[in-house]
Amino acid sequence: MSAPGTVIPKPPASSRRMDEFRELMESFNQATRQLENTHVDLRNQVGRLQAELAEANERLRMSRSLAALGEMAAGIAHEIRNPLGAIRLDVEMIREDATAEPSIQLCSRVLSAVTRLDGIVGDVLSFARQSALSPQEVVLDQLLGSVLLELSQKLDSVAVDLRIDPEGLRISADRGLLSQVLVNIIQNACEAMEETGVEDPRILISCFTDRRRVDSGQRMDHVVIRVDDHGPGISEELGRQIFNPFFTTRQSGTGLGLAIVHRIVDAHGGHLVAGNAEHGARVEVCLPLEAREEATGMSAEGRSIDEAVRRRLNTHHDEGASP
């Protein structure tokens, strides 16, 4: 301690200025680091938003393409079905009058081809059909229970894990059409595992709520029905074509199953996401938690799938044209 009356010398002015300068530089460097971190976060966020919007725009493009193709396919299918019916009738009459075995066999082969063509026409009409949407409250665990029961034979050797959170999750949708969507997706998962000889075939079905970006760019609450399998997964090339009409990797079938699924989900104002999970493929059916009448065109009396898709696309077109 200094003696009474002792004057403590002040540090030189240059030293004080140096300390102040160091404090200033430290504050500056700290602010610079914060700005750099904020810049990186913003850049990452912008990148995520751009990717999500690009994905939403691609879904909208696909919806428009499928809607236009549906209208064209319906006209062509009707034009083909009428002469097919006449061909079937004439060949059946010829077979009844035929006595030679080669002629009978030839007629049978023609009838078999006609039956196959008629099946293709039926799939095309299903793709473009005008059946009405009839939305109602659907309890997902009950719906999935009936779907799994319908597929019980296909799922006989497949371990199925069903998880619904929260329990009793409900959605407004056309029960019959949503059932068709789930049957098709789960059946595809089973066939993919069967064709590749998976030793321990498993399917995980998860239902939950999540905020997803829609075609307008907004985030909305959705019910997500996710189907994961233990199959070979979905390649990048397959992912780009999986919902295209008439695209199939199998020897049988028309390749319209997932295109029909796409149109049904689209008519409900939802969207599909296909990709890969930890062990195989993952397909997500994303449906708005609350039915959007302006997007789906669904009313009490119901509208056709084609009307619903067209109205939804027109709604997004008008939103995009707004200033």
User: Distance between the two ends of the chain, CA-based, in angstroms?
Assistant: 76
Would you state the pLDDT for residue 58? 64
The residue with greater pLDDT, 299 or 49, is 49
What mean pLDDT comes out for the span 20-44? 75
On the question of pLDDT at 266 being above 90, the answer is no
On the question of pLDDT at 19 being above 50, the answer is yes
On the question of pLDDT at 5 being above 70, the answer is no
List of residues 6+ apart from 87 with CB closer than 8 A: 110, 114
Contact criterion met (CB below 8 Å) for 225 and 210: no
State pTM to two decimals: 0.61
What mean pLDDT comes out for the span 56-76? 63
Contact criterion met (CB below 8 Å) for 263 and 277: no
The residue with greater pLDDT, 83 or 316, is 83
Query: pLDDT exceeding 90 applies to what percent of the chain?
Result: 21
The model's pLDDT over 96-144, given as tens digits with 9 standing for 90+, comes to: 888 888 888 888 888 888 887 887 777 776 666 655 678 899 999 999 9
The model's pLDDT over 274-293, given as tens digits with 9 standing for 90+, comes to: 889 888 999 999 999 876 54
Q: What is the mean pLDDT of the chain?
A: 77
User: Counting beta carbons within 10 angstroms of the beta carbon of residue 43, is it exposed (0 to 12), middle (13 to 18) or buried (19 or more)?
Assistant: exposed
Say yes or no: domain 135-321 is CATH 3.30.565.10: yes
Q: Which amino acid is at 285?
A: V
